[in-house]
Amino acid sequence: MTWFDESRLEDEAALASVDQRLRFLAGSGARVRRDAGEAEAALAGEAAGALRAAESRPRAVIAAGPDSRLLRAVLEPACPVPFVAWPYPVLPGWAGALDLVVVLAPEGSDPGTASAVAEAVRRGCQVVVAGPPGSMVVEHAAGRDSAVLPCTTRDQLAAAVVVLDLLHRVGLGPQADPETVAGALDDVARSASPHRDLTVNPAKALAIALADSVPLLWGGSVLAQRAARRVAESMRRTSGRAALAGDVDTLWPVLAAARPRDLFDDPVADGAGPPQPALLLLDDGAEDPVSREQRARLVGLADERRLRVEVLGSEATGQVARYASLLLSGTYASEYLALGLVDG
């Protein structure tokens, strides 16, 4: 039988067992700054010509490779030209010299992405690639109209911020200032630090709140939805427990099928029973009517079933910074959830 021991979240020996992972999370802001600094140096040098070329508005922007979905979530609503996320190794047949191909390759080792980049160069597309110098993808990006942004941290979020910052400079996307994103990540790292008591640590408190439940994660905006999926994946991977992220149509049947919680249940006398769902709302400040209506429906049903409702929010400035903040906060909570689970 597995149970949750919240005292482990304050136990130095237990925290030491996940020290490397927590240190990696705490370095998220530093990785954004490092990649942004290296990209800035590149743009001041050999990539400057490609940056000037990108300033002439392309016919379309194509985000290629398997990491293109984050770019899509940010750019699709704001890009002034047609935007396409294309996670396949072969570019669409119409892509050519009038189009800009952007690629996130934080590892730089995916053969399909390398193939797409090579094809973009061969067709004469403008190309922007963020990846480790000397990697397979970067080597295939060599060309007159290519800009290579060196990203050595191999961090997907850091690479995305570097590319989004460039696209904002040339008028193709919203602001995604690397320092603002890095500062938001630093704020999360401080508030969720393992050395911070659980009474004032929101990540530890969230782990405790979800310890006996099946988390159902919902986000109102496209970016909040993406953060919800990533956090649910982290919870499943670290704790081995079920977690589900989705829209109203996905989560509603699960909430509706839940047995209404009786406040007078005695889990010792009556048996623990299967874990009940708990609704976790990722709030990035989206206030459109559709999001408000969907949120109200889910919260109303959870309240009707007397289920726990938790809110994970962010006060960061800018949609990319808020996304980064929500993602890191949820990932910290995942680590603490896994740490507190013991077999006994």
Q: Which pTM was predicted?
A: 0.93
Model confidence at 144, pLDDT cuts 50, 70, 90, reads: confident
Please name which of 217, 222, 179 lies closest in space to residue 85, comparing C-alpha atoms: 222
Q: In this predicted model, what pLDDT tens digit does every residue of 19-39 receive, in sequence order? A: 999 999 999 999 999 999 999
Mean pLDDT of 286-303: 93
Portion of the chain with pLDDT greater than 70, in percent: 93
Report the 10 Å Cβ neighbour count for 310. 17
Supply 271's token pair: 């048996």
Give the pLDDT of residue 50: 55
Q: How far is CA 54 from CA 106, 168, 172, 244, in A?
A: 21, 11, 9, 40
- In DSSP notation, 129-173 reads EEE-TTSHHHHTT-STTEEEEE--S--HHHHHHHHHHHHHHTTSS
* Separation between Cα atoms, residue 128 and residue 67, nearest integer Å: 14
Give the pLDDT of residue 343: 84
* Separation between Cα atoms, residue 85 and residue 78, nearest integer Å: 14
Looking at per-residue pLDDT, the higher value among 268 and 42 belongs to: 42
For residue 326, list its beta bridge partners. none
The continuous run of DSSP H or E covering 333 comes out as helix 319-340
Give the pLDDT of residue 170: 87
Q: In this predicted model, what pLDDT tens digit does every residue of 318-331 receive, in sequence order? A: 999 999 999 999 99
* Separation between Cα atoms, residue 228 and residue 32, nearest integer Å: 21
Q: In this predicted model, what pLDDT tens digit does every residue of 230-245 receive, in sequence order? A: 999 999 999 999 999 9
Average pLDDT, the chain: 91
Classified by CATH at the fold level, domain 45-175 comes out as Rossmann fold (3.40.50)
Classified by CATH at the fold level, domain 2-28+181-343 comes out as Rossmann fold (3.40.50)
Equal fold, 2-28+181-343 vs 45-175: yes
Q: In this predicted model, what pLDDT tens digit does every residue of 112-121 receive, in sequence order? A: 999 999 999 9
Domain ranges of the chain: 2-28+181-343, 45-175
The bridge status of strand 61-64 relative to strand 100-104 is parallel
Q: Which residues contact 308 (CB under 8 A, 6 or more apart)?
A: 209, 210, 213, 276, 278, 279, 302
Model confidence at 270, pLDDT cuts 50, 70, 90, reads: low
Give the pLDDT of residue 286: 82
Q: How far is CA 220 from CA 52, 223, 300, in A?
A: 36, 8, 16
Range in 147-156, 159-168, 170-179, 271-280 with the lowest mean pLDDT: 271-280
Please name which of 138, 140, 120 lies closest in space to residue 60, comparing C-alpha atoms: 120
Q: In this predicted model, what pLDDT tens digit does every residue of 64-97 receive, in sequence order? A: 888 788 899 999 888 999 999 988 888 999 999 9
Model confidence at 268, pLDDT cuts 50, 70, 90, reads: very low
Supply 324's token pair: 């980064």
CA 130 to chain centre: 17
Mean pLDDT of 171-194: 96
Burial label, 198 (beta-carbon count in 10 A; 0-12, 13-18, 19+): middle
Q: In this predicted model, what pLDDT tens digit does every residue of 122-135 receive, in sequence order? A: 999 999 999 999 99
* Separation between Cα atoms, residue 109 and residue 105, nearest integer Å: 8
Model confidence at 205, pLDDT cuts 50, 70, 90, reads: very high
